[in-house]
Amino acid sequence: MKFFVDTADIADIKEMADTGLLDGVTTNPSLIAKSGRDFMEVTKEICDLVDGPVSAEVVALDHETMMKEAETLRKIADNVCIKVPLTIDGLKTCKKLTADGTQVNVTLCFSANQALLAAKAGATFVSPFVGRHDDNGFDGMELIADIRRIYDNYDFGTEILVASIRNPVHVLQSARIGADVATMPPAVIKGLFKHVLTDKGIEGFVADWEKTGQTIPTS
């Protein structure tokens, strides 16, 4: 499963990229606003930091303006992935962009029927929001399982990009189901490293090593 980080914070992206685990980045207007920086500038900087797809979202709601915004965004870098909403105009834009080789991430997916439409429109990625789905009394992981089953039934090439991930359990469940990508806040990625027995093991090894009075030469 690919790991994307869901942030527009350059320092966090650099830190994640240095682990060698980062396959891409997702951003949205809310994350850009939180960064307090110029949209085009921060998107270009992110694209320079990672080799994988960087989702940059259009803000228009009509197809014609979406296409104009997408034309501007995809000039930023070759690895820009245009993010569009799961609406009729969004899917019209998706179809037109993917037809000429542009990567498209169809976002704000909350049903398997919507995911089916995105795949038929040629989406590179579809982003079902599991956390928000859970918040509204539904089972986010059941949604992922349904989409996986449908895509496998018809051999769709659209990748399932699990979004709105809140905790490491969401990541584990997504991997079990066979999702293609998980996009996570930096804190969730860091949480994947944590285990009480790992911490206890390190503490024990350090304590035992200190008793030897030895050091390992570093120069």
* DSSP SS3 for 165: coil
Q: Is 33 a residue whose pLDDT tops 90?
A: no
Instruction: Return d(Cα 97, Cα 125) in angstroms, integer.
Output: 13
The whole-angstrom distance between residue 159's C-alpha and the CA centroid of its chain comes to 11
pLDDT in tens, 82-140: 999 999 999 999 999 999 999 999 999 999 999 999 999 999 999 999 999 899 999 99
Residues designated as active site: 83
pLDDT at 28: 87
pLDDT digits (tens, 9 = 90+) for 69-78: 999 999 999 9
Question: What 3-state class would DSSP assign to 181?
Answer: strand
CATH topology of domain 2-193: TIM Barrel (3.20.20)
pLDDT, residue 153, reads: 98
pLDDT value for 121: 98
Question: What burial letters (b/e) apply to 4-42, b meaning 16+ CB within 10 Å?
Answer: bbbbbbeebbeebbeeeebbbbbbbeebbeebeeebeeb
pLDDT for res 29? 85
Provide the whole-model pTM.
0.94
Q: Which residues pair with 161 in a beta bridge?
A: 181
Distance of alpha carbon 109 from the chain centroid: 14
CA distance 71 to 35: 23
Q: Which residue has the tokens 């990541």?
A: 171
Structure tokens at 210: 């200190």
Q: First CA to last CA across the chain, in angstroms? A: 39
Q: Which long-range contacts (CB under 8 A, 24 or more apart) does 83-88 make?
A: 83/26, 83/27, 83/28, 83/55, 83/56, 83/57, 83/58, 83/107, 83/127, 84/57, 84/58, 85/61, 86/114, 86/117, 86/118, 86/126, 87/61
